[in-house]
Amino acid sequence: MSYPDIVLASASPRRRELLAQLGVSFSLISADIDETPQHNEAAADYVQRLALQKARAGQAMSQTSLPVLGADTVVVADGEILGKPADFAEFARTMQLLSGRCHQVMTAIALVNAERQLQQLVSTEVCFRPLNAAEIAAYWHSGEPQDKAGGYGIQGLAAKFVRRINGSYTAVVGLPLCETEQLLLQWQEQL
């Protein structure tokens, strides 16, 4: 199976590790964009817009003819997008909201070059067991939640909070491998 060489427009070490699992040859570029949600923007629209903007920004920065892959992940509970926590108070509020409940993790991917683009959205249900205040504080002090969408990393210490998932584990980590591979194969077929 042959994949195109690509550029990954991401600073995420988790996305690099996941993409490497596919055996894809890629170079890296970090594409910073404004991640402010637009007024009344639905979570699915928001995450797809950011993935596409990251890919487009990466393409503009790298000035390559290779396809550029952008991705973004958001955690959504009760229709609210839960971003990276700014401080402990915001993190604790997020964890209390997720405690003992199910929420959605949406990851969008976009593959672009100057002539075309392909996109995919993956939504996964994640269910947490009930969390107490001591567990929430201990997790915060581990340092892991600070740079994570929704304040947790399923691949790290927060795995013990997860009662079950319905969907793609790798999408929750940050890059849905099944869908990414399908997008790469579709790209190859259209050449």
The answer for residues whose C-beta is within 8 angstroms of residue 76's C-beta and 6 or more apart is 43, 82, 103, 104, 105, 106
Which residue type occupies 14? R
78 is catalytic: no
What is the β-pairing status of strands 162-166 and 117-128?
A: antiparallel
Q: Could you tell me the two tokens for 35?
A: 């991640």
Would you give the DSSP letter of residue 113? -
Closest C-alpha among 106, 110, 108, 107 to residue 6: 110
Active-site annotation holder among 45, 72, 87, 147:
72
What are the catalytic residues? Answer: 72
